[in-house]
Amino acid sequence: MFAMAERAAAAAVERIVHLAAVDKWYGRYHALRNVDLMVTRGECVALWGPSGSGKTTLLRCIAGLEAIQAGTMEIAGERKPVGAAVRPATTAGVGMVFQRSALFSNLRVIDNLTIGLRRVRRMPRREAEALAMHHLAKVRMTDLALRYPSQLSGGQQQRAEIARALCMEPQLLLFDEPTAALDPELKHEVGAAIAALAQDGRTVMVATHEPLLIDALQPRKVLMAEGAIVGESGAP
């Protein structure tokens, strides 16, 4: 009995995402339907399916950008509130990179990375910049730290977004169609950067319908259609 309790506790600690019977509506539109999903620490999971299948909505709910109306959602140890009147609240320990760059155009790359550290965490400038350069090195961007977003290619902007997310030291990284707006060469560049994070043991979830990105990541594929999970494939 004691050993069973220990195993259950260990599984709970390692569980980063736990969804049970999750439903989400936009008015009359049923965007997520009875979704059950578990992601453990260090996993790489791809939400795979056509546009409109619910991939982006599911990521936004996990990030806390959208609230759910039914079911149970526990993210990085935090139980999310549920109900029609619940206001969205971002989830601590979760970083998200969107399809299109959200970098501040009037700030240099390094300032984009440090603004959250300095304003939210009250980190001294020198310490924040050292952390920013550490994560820029991970995505091979240190030589572009002083450039503005307009001086970067689409792939470089996405890599800067990844570094910015890493600066907040998330337990879980979410990517919403990160290569959809890029040409084939840049798709490979960004895919390689995300794959490197996954191989480094980061917990990664990616919404995509790009075969090239799937090939780079070799993830567990969670198949979605019409707001529901309809199957899984690939290695856990």
Give per-residue pLDDT as tens, 17-27. 999 999 999 99
Res 11 pLDDT > 70: no
By percentage, how much of the chain surpasses pLDDT 70? Answer: 93
Q: Please report, for residues 87, 166, 207, 229, the alpha-carbon distance to residue 63 in angstroms, rounded to integers and kept in the order given.
A: 13, 15, 13, 18
Which pLDDT score is estimated for 192?
87
**pLDDT per position as a tens digit, 53-83:** 999 999 999 999 999 999 999 998 889 989 8
| pLDDT band, residue 235 (cuts 50/70/90) | low
Domain boundaries along the sequence of the chain: 2-93+170-233
- Model's pTM, two decimal places? 0.86
Question: Would you say residue 8 has pLDDT above 90?
Answer: no
Contact 138, 166 (CB under 8 A): yes
Tell me, which fold does domain 2-93+170-233 have in CATH? Answer: Rossmann fold (3.40.50)
Is residue 168 over pLDDT 90?
Answer: no
Distance CA 100, CA 200 (A): 25
The arithmetic mean of pLDDT across residues 83-106, rounded, is 87
